[in-house]
Amino acid sequence: MNHILSVSELTSSIKNTLEENFGDINLIGEISNFKAHVSGHWYFTLKDSSAQISATMWKGVNSLVFFTPQDGMKVIVRGKITVYPPRGNYQLDVRSMKPAGEGELQAAFEKLKRKLSDEGLFDVKHKKTISKFSNKIGIVTGIGTAALKDMISVAERRFPLAELVIAPARVQGEGSAEQIVASLKMLNNQNDIDLIIIARGGGSLEDLWPFNEEIVARAVFDSRIPVISGVGHEVDFTITDFVADLRAPTPTAAMELATPDKRDIFAFINEFFYYSSNNLTDKINKEKKEIAQILNSYGFKSPQDNVRNKSQFLDNLVFRIQNSVDKKITYDKNRLNLIKGALQSNNIDKILKKGFVLVKQKGNFVTRESNFIKDESFILKFFDNEIIIK
């Protein structure tokens, strides 16, 4: 009887055979069912028209890939065959990945462009206004690059008052997209940045690919600060160009769009001063002419007559007021004398002085005989004294 193998023994034998004979292979195929796990690992299927194979690319290794894989993209991978014993499955452990050709990158570019366009990320209504005078400009680009040197030179020449804040980022190769996003977020966390330029020099589609990544496009769209894209040369277009608030054909042109030219400012000031001076002189001459016309008018030819007429009119008013006051005083004085005479004629002392006597009983004057109480004491009031009668 032949030797009987256990499942583990058979799987182990297959594992050793496959991994020894397929330890370093290059494979071309189309990606499907791509999934970037939260752990950072990539899981996908590589297929052609007749067969397929499961594949994995571990975190750390996949960080060296300069693009984000998409379903339907044709790629060339290098790796080894591994066997997962618990399930008895074999799979491809991918160590490197690159597009099968530039056409694959172009297809991915068009696919993402359609997707973001359908979502409205390119719509004009979302574009923020670029200020003509930006005091503080953030720049996302590579340190020491020709693009950065050109932009600094342009800013110094055109508008030296502008302050430049460099947010460095890799602009080519693996990890570039993530660094660009981090730099954009850093600038957005500052409160004094007026404008952001995201830029790099020209290159191949592969070189410019970080600016075609979806995470970069969404970071540019979400920026609260206006963004100018100056990526590549004039003929180069990236997804970032479509999402940005303004697209410049080159990094140099981006800085020119971001800054006013000091020569234009000086020319404006000189022109403003010239025309303002002329306008002010014309205004003064016009006012002088109007004043001269007024002074030469009929009203100013005989000012003394006008003063005399007004003075006479004023004297008449004063005279009329004075007569009215005098009449009022005389009337009130006569009326007062009448009242005074009436009061004096009814003065008690004056009546008593003539020999009349007043009778008081219980504190009241007795004016009628019927009011006199015979058995009650009373007082006789004379002019010079009072007598009590009991």
* Residue-range domain boundaries for the chain: 7-101, 115-122+133-260, 302-344, 348-389
Count Cβ neighbours within 10 Å for each residue of 232-267 and write b for 16 or more, e otherwise: beeebbbbbbbbbbbbbbbbbbbbbbbbbeeeeeee
Q: Which residue has the higher pLDDT, 302 or 120?
A: 120
Give the strand pairing for 163-168 and 136-141.
parallel
The DSSP bridge partners found for residue 82 are: 91
Among 24-28, 190-194, 323-327, the least confident range: 323-327
Statement: the pTM of the whole predicted model exceeds 0.75: no
User: Residue holding tokens 């460095």?
Assistant: 168
Per-residue pLDDT reduced to its tens digit, 54-99? 999 998 888 888 888 888 888 899 999 988 888 878 899 999 988 8
C-alpha count within 13 angstroms, C-beta hemisphere, residue 11: 12
CA gap 167, 143 in Å, rounded: 9
**Collapsing DSSP states into helix, strand and coil, what is residue 9?**
helix
Among 245-249, 347-351, 374-378, the least confident range: 347-351
Among 146-160, 199-213, 296-310, the least confident range: 296-310
**Collapsing DSSP states into helix, strand and coil, what is residue 138?**
strand
Where does 7-101 sit in CATH, by number?
A: 2.40.50.140
Percent pLDDT > 90 in the chain is 42
Burial class (CB in 10 A: 0-12, 13-18, 19+), 354: exposed
Q: Which helix (H) or strand (E) holds 180?
A: helix 176-188
CA gap 78, 98 in Å, rounded: 9
Per-residue pLDDT reduced to its tens digit, 282-292? 888 888 888 87
Q: What is the pLDDT of residue 305?
A: 65
C-alpha count within 13 angstroms, C-beta hemisphere, residue 34: 14
**Mean pLDDT, residues 194-212:** 91
Q: Which of 209, 45, 225 is nearest to 128 (CA)?
A: 225
CA gap 177, 169 in Å, rounded: 9
CA gap 122, 238 in Å, rounded: 12
Q: What is the pLDDT of residue 302?
A: 64
Q: Which residue has the higher pLDDT, 254 or 15?
A: 254
User: Residue holding tokens 């100013």?
Assistant: 300
- In this structure, are residues 81 and 90 in contact, taking their beta carbons and an 8 Å threshold? yes
| Amino acid present at 286 | K
CA gap 236, 171 in Å, rounded: 15
Positive or negative, the CA dihedral 235, 239, 242, 248 is negative
Q: What is the CA angle 204-208-209, rounded to 5?
A: 110
On whether the 115-122+133-260 domain is CATH 3.40.50.261, my answer is: yes
Q: Which of 160, 177, 168, 120 is nearest to 144 (CA)?
A: 168
CA gap 251, 384 in Å, rounded: 126
Is pLDDT at 144 greater than 60 in this prediction? yes
Per-residue pLDDT reduced to its tens digit, 297-325? 666 666 666 677 777 888 788 888 888 88
Q: What is the pLDDT of residue 301?
A: 60
Residue 239 confidence class, pLDDT cut points 50, 70, 90 = very high
What backbone phi and psi angles, to 5 degrees, belong to 166?
-90, 120
